[in-house]
C-alpha cells in the first residue's frame, strides 16, 4: 500500500513551506481541510428489516403502535441537512480529495473533532497516498491506480465494483480508495464492498428509482471485516443507506444521510445469528434526517463505540440497539425522532439488548447524554422485551408527543440518570410498565437526580412493586413509583 502522511508530518511540511515562502514575500495560508458531509436524502421501499423487533410490546404504556413501522415513502430533502443539526456540528460540503495518515482510534470525538478517522483522511482535494482513485460524475467515472487507467460510462455502481476489485489489503495495511464526485446508483443495486479497505467518499451518492428485492444498498457488505469509511454523504431513494451484515471491525467517520423510507444505517449478524460475527463496530459521527424508519439500528453485535448520533425527524428510532452488548455512546441528539411511529423513541433498547449469554444484565450499555425534543416526536427513551444493563448518565427529554416519554417495560438494571449525572423531564410521563407476555416485570430500575416540570410525573405498574425499583432525588412533579 502507498503510505499516507501522518497529520503531524503534513502539518510540519505545510509550516516549512509557509516559512520558506514568507522569506520571499507573502505566503498564502493553506486551506483547512474540514471533512465532507453536506446533505443526503435516502429512501426505501418501506418496512422494518426482519428481526427489527416490535415497536412497543406495551400492554399499558400509552401510545404504543405495536409491530414495526410501515414506512411508505421517503421524504426527499433537496438541499443540505438543516443547520439545526445540533451538537456535533452542522453540515459540511464535500470538496473531494484526501490525504492523511492512520485511520485513528474511533470512539467519541473530542475537542470539537467529529471524527479522528475523517480528520486522518480529509476531503481536501488531494489524491496523494491512495492506492486507487475514482473521479467523475453521474454515470461517467475514471479509475486510476491498481492497473491501467480506465473510464467507465455505465454508472457509479459499475465503477465502484471495478475500483473495489483493484484493491489489495490486509487488516494491518488496508487498501485505500478515494472517490471524488457526485454520482447516481439505482435503488435496486446492492453494491458489495470488500474487506480490508478504506473507502473515502468525498462527494455524494444519489440513489434513484424504486428498490426491488431485499437488502438493497449502495454501500453493502456481508461477511467482511476491517472496513473504514471516513466520509460518506447519501441522498435519494435507497432501501438502506448502509447495510452491514456479519461485518466486524467496522469504522464509520462522518456520515450524513437525509431522507430514507427505510433505515439510514443497519448493522446486524443475521446471516449467522452469532453476534460475535458483528464485532467491534465504531461510528464516530452520524447525522440521519428524514429516514422512514430508524436512523441507526444495530441488531446482534458486540463491542459498539459511538461518538455522536444526530437524528432529525427519523420515522422510527434515532438509535436502536437490539440483542447487542458492550456499547459506549457519547451523545444521542434527537428532534422529532419517531414522528411517524410514536411507539418508538429517540433511543431504544429491545430484544434482550444488554443481556449476556449467562442471562445476567451488568451495566454494559452506557449513554453519556440523551437529548430528545420535538412536538412531533415519539418517546425519548424506551427499554423493552427483556433488555437492560443500561445507564444514561445525563438526559433532557422535553415536550414530546409520545407517551410515555420514558418507558421501561420488562427491563432489568436500568439507571436514569447516573449517580453523578442529572436528568430533566419536561411534560409527559416516566413509566415502569409491564407486559405479562414479555418476560418478568422490571427490576433494579433507578430513576434519580431528575427535575420534573410542565406536569411531568413518574409512575409504575403495580406488577413492578417489590422489585427493587427506586425513585431517588426527584423534584418538581408527581412521583408514584413503588419499590
Q: What is the pLDDT of residue 236?
A: 83
- Are 116 and 91 members of one domain? yes
The mean pLDDT of 361-374, rounded to a whole number, is: 98
Q: For the chain, what percent of residues have pLDDT higher than 70?
A: 77
Which pLDDT band holds residue 393 (cuts at 50, 70, 90)?
very high
Which pLDDT band holds residue 238 (cuts at 50, 70, 90)?
confident
- Are 301 and 258 members of one domain? yes
Tell me how many domains the chain contains.
2
Say which range, 256-260, 382-386, 476-480, has the weakest mean pLDDT.
256-260
- Are 13 and 85 members of one domain? no
Reported residue count of the chain is: 483
Residue 390 lies in a domain: yes
Residue 159 lies in a domain: no
Q: What is the pLDDT of residue 292?
A: 86
- Are 9 and 77 members of one domain? no
- Are 21 and 66 members of one domain? no
Q: What is the pLDDT of residue 259?
A: 75
Alpha helices (H) along 3-155: 7-23, 116-120
Q: What 8-state DSSP symbol labels residue 405?
A: S
Residue 143 lies in a domain: no
The answer on pLDDT for 110 being more than 60 is no
The answer on pLDDT for 66 being more than 70 is no
Pick 91 or 440 by higher pLDDT: 440
Say which range, 3-12, 19-28, 244-253, 470-479, has the weakest mean pLDDT.
19-28
Is the backbone of residue 205 left (phi > 0), alpha (psi -120 to 50) or beta? beta
- Are 52 and 22 members of one domain? no
- Are 16 and 46 members of one domain? no
The answer on pLDDT for 223 being more than 50 is yes
Which pLDDT band holds residue 112 (cuts at 50, 70, 90)?
low
Q: What is the pLDDT of residue 113?
A: 79
- Are 24 and 83 members of one domain? no
The answer on pLDDT for 18 being more than 90 is no
Residue 136 lies in a domain: no
- Are 383 and 311 members of one domain? yes
The mean pLDDT of 261-289, rounded to a whole number, is: 95
The answer on pLDDT for 452 being more than 70 is yes
The answer on pLDDT for 142 being more than 50 is yes
- Are 330 and 418 members of one domain? yes
Q: What is the pLDDT of residue 101?
A: 35
Dihedral angle over CA of 209, 215, 217, 222, nearest 10? -160
pLDDT digits (tens, 9 = 90+) for 19-57: 333 333 322 222 222 222 222 222 233 333 333 333 333
Q: What is the pLDDT of residue 11?
A: 40
C-alpha cell at 428: 409527559
Beta bridge partners of 234: 205, 257
Could you tell me how far CA 275 lies from the centroid of its own chain? 18
Burial class (CB in 10 A: 0-12, 13-18, 19+), 220: buried
Measured between alpha carbons, how far is 356 from 387 in angstroms, rounded to an integer? 10
Beta bridge partners of 185: 207
- Are 374 and 427 members of one domain? yes
Q: What is the pLDDT of residue 388?
A: 98
The mean pLDDT of 329-356, rounded to a whole number, is: 97
Instruction: Domain of residue 60: give its range.
Output: 34-131+167-480
Which pLDDT band holds residue 106 (cuts at 50, 70, 90)?
very low
Detail the DSSP E strand segments found in 246-361: 248-258, 263-268, 279-289, 296-299, 302-312, 319-322, 325-335, 345-350
Residue 206 lies in a domain: yes
- Are 86 and 48 members of one domain? yes
Q: What is the pLDDT of residue 260?
A: 74
Residue 154 lies in a domain: no
Alpha helices (H) along 139-258: 156-165
Amino acid at each position: 500500500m502507498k503510505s499516507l502522511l501522518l497529520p503531524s508530518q503534513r502539518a510540519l511540511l505545510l509550516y516549512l513551506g509557509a516559512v520558506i515562502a514568507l522569506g520571499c514575500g507573502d505566503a498564502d495560508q493553506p486551506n483547512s481541510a474540514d471533512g465532507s458531509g453536506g446533505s443526503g436524502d435516502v429512501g426505501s421501499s418501506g418496512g422494518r428489516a426482519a428481526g427489527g423487533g416490535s415497536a412497543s410490546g406495551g400492554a399499558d404504556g400509552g401510545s404504543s403502535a405495536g409491530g414495526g413501522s410501515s414506512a411508505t415513502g421517503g421524504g426527499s430533502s433537496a438541499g443540505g441537512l438543516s443547520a439545526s443539526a445540533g451538537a456535533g456540528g452542522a453540515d459540511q460540503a464535500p470538496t473531494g480529495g484526501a490525504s492523511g495518515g492512520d485511520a485513528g482510534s474511533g470512539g467519541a470525538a473530542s475537542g470539537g473533532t467529529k471524527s479522528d478517522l475523517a480528520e486522518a483522511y480529509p476531503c481536501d482535494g488531494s489524491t496523494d497516498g491512495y492506492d486507487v482513485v475514482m473521479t467523475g460524475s453521474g454515470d461517467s467515472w475514471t479509475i486510476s491506480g491498481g492497473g491501467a487507467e480506465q473510464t467507465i460510462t455505465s454508472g457509479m455502481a459499475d465503477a465502484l465494483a471495478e475500483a473495489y476489485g483493484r484493491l489489495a489489503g490486509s487488516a494491518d495495511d488496508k487498501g485505500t480508495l478515494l472517490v471524488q464526485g457526485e454520482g447516481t446508483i439505482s435503488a435496486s443495486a446492492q453494491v458489495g464492498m470488500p474487506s480490508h479497505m478504506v473507502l473515502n467518499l468525498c462527494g455524494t451518492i444519489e440513489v434513484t428509482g424504486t428498490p426491488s428485492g431485499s437488502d438493497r444498498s449502495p454501500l453493502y457488505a456481508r461477511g467482511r471485516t476491517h472496513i473504514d469509511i471516513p466520509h460518506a454523504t447519501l441522498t435519494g431513494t435507497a432501501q438502506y443507506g448502509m447495510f452491514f451484515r456479519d461485518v466486524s471491525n467496522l469504522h464509520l467517520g462522518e456520515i450524513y444521510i437525509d431522507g430514507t423510507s427505510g433505515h439510514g444505517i443497519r448493522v446486524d449478524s443475521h446471516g449467522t445469528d452469532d453476534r460475535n460475527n458483528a464485532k467491534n463496530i465504531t461510528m464516530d459521527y452520524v447525522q440521519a434526517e428524514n429516514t422512514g424508519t430508524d436512523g441507526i439500528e444495530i441488531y446482534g453485535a458486540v463491542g459498539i463505540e459511538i461518538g455522536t448520533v444526530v437524528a432529525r425527524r427519523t420515522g422510527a428510532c434515532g438509535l436502536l440497539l437490539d440483542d447487542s452488548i458492550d456499547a459506549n455512546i457519547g451523545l444521542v441528539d434527537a428532534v422529532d425522532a419517531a414522528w411517524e411511529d410514536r411507539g418508538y423513541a429517540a433511543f431504544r433498547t429491545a430484544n434482550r439488548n444488554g443481556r449476556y449469554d449467562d442471562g445476567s444484565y451488568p451495566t454494559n450499555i452506557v449513554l453519556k447524554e440523551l437529548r430528545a425534543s420535538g412536538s412531533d416526536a415519539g418517546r425519548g427513551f424506551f427499554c423493552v422485551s427483556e433488555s437492560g444493563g443500561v445507564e444514561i448518565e445525563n438526559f433532557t427529554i422535553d415536550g414530546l408527543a409520545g407517551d410515555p416519554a420514558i418507558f421501561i417495560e420488562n427491563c432489568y438494571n436500568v439507571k436514569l440518570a447516573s449517580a453523578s449525572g442529572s436528568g430533566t423531564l419536561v411534560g409527559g410521563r416516566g413509566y415502569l410498565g409491564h407486559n405479562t407476555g414479555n418476560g418478568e416485570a422490571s427490576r433494579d430500575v433507578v430513576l434519580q437526580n431528575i427535575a420534573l416540570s410542565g406536569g411531568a410525573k413518574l409512575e409504575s405498574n403495580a406488577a413492578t412493586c417489590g422489585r427493587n425499583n427506586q425513585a431517588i432525588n426527584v423534584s418538581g412533579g408527581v412521583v408514584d413509583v413503588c419499590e
